[in-house]
Amino acid sequence: MKPYNIIFLGTPDFAVPSLDALAKSTHNIVMVVTQPDRPKGRGKKLVFSPVKKKAVEFELNIIQPKSINTPEIIEQISSLKPDFLVVVAFGQLLKKELLDVPTNGVLNVHPSLLPQYRGPAPIQWAIIEGCEQTGVSIMKLDEGLDTGDVLQVETTSINSNETAGMLHDRLAKSGALLLLDTIDKISNNNISLKPQKHSQATYAPMLNKKDGLIPWEKPAKSIVNFIRGMTPWPGAFTFMGKHRLKIFKAETIDISENKPPGTVLNAFPDELWVSTGEKGLSILEIQSASGKRMKIADFLRGNNIEPGSLFC
């Protein structure tokens, strides 16, 4: 297989395994495009994106435009005569002028079974909505939002105790391997495009911090999935009065008490049971606003939560 000239566009941790795999392959990464450095922390110090950190390790050519679609950036990319653009969680949509630049098109690694869960948060929503399977799709990018023809798909089961963070790391690695395999098959003319069934598309909207508020009126099983899908970010949380509590892990339990959703129930001294819209929830790992993540037994030794108290 001949080595291709590739321009890589990506920003967060999910994109790093794909960049790493390409950099260690026989292909030539002629440029890396990532988002500008962002201020972080109390000191607002500018920090590199995860992709930039990896690109620096490989001493790759890096640019960080505020907009990828300006005439100047398109001309700069065109001058390198790339065979492929590879886009992995870059954070900006590409216009047609840029999509037309590479000889063999623009490849995208998307962590869902397209057309399911198009959009920016497919991993989280697949868990929140109780899916038993998900996967990675390699598609040929077009002007739509994750609407391009699909080249390859790899399916995987979602483990019952898997958080969004765990699944993110698995799919990032499998997506990198599938990307390399897709490029190999394109080189050998051993692959074909498959149009998506747009009528079957679902959307995975962006999450923000306020979306982590636990909906106690839902069934306990749905809340368990919600907590898993919100971990590690934006995090599942609830309030007791003015006190904010972050919940990391929970399981469903059968209960005999019929209390309003969010009510703390009678339990053993080292357990915290809460009523929901259906069955009960046993909280296993928790964190107060000023504390650290703890097993529930350790937390309750220093924090008294009486039965009848209300989470909201």
* 74, part of any domain: yes
Rounded distance, CA 164 to CA 173, Å?
14
* 180, part of any domain: yes
**Of 182, 200, 218, which marks where a domain is finished?**
200
Number of neighbours of residue 157 by Cβ within 10 angstroms: 11
Of 205, 206, 196, 204, whose CA–CA distance to 115 is shortest? 196
* 307, part of any domain: no
Average pLDDT over residues 47-51: 96
Q: In this structure, are 185 and 249 located in the same domain?
A: no
Q: In this structure, are 83 and 195 located in the same domain?
A: yes
| Structural domain that includes position 252 | 209-302
Q: In this structure, are 45 and 84 located in the same domain?
A: yes
CB distance 76 to 63 below 8 Å: yes
Rounded distance, CA 7 to CA 103, Å?
12
pLDDT digits (tens, 9 = 90+) for 198-234: 999 999 999 999 999 999 999 999 999 999 999 999 9
pLDDT digits (tens, 9 = 90+) for 235-257: 999 999 999 999 999 999 999 88
Q: Is the pLDDT of residue 128 over 90?
A: yes
* 308, part of any domain: no
Q: In this structure, are 188 and 262 located in the same domain?
A: no
pLDDT at 2: 81
pLDDT digits (tens, 9 = 90+) for 8-17: 999 999 999 9
pLDDT confidence tier of residue 43, bands split at 50, 70 and 90: confident
* 279, part of any domain: yes
Q: In this structure, are 187 and 95 located in the same domain?
A: yes
Please name the residues in contact with 308: beta carbons below 8 A apart, sequence gap of 6 or more. Answer: 263, 264
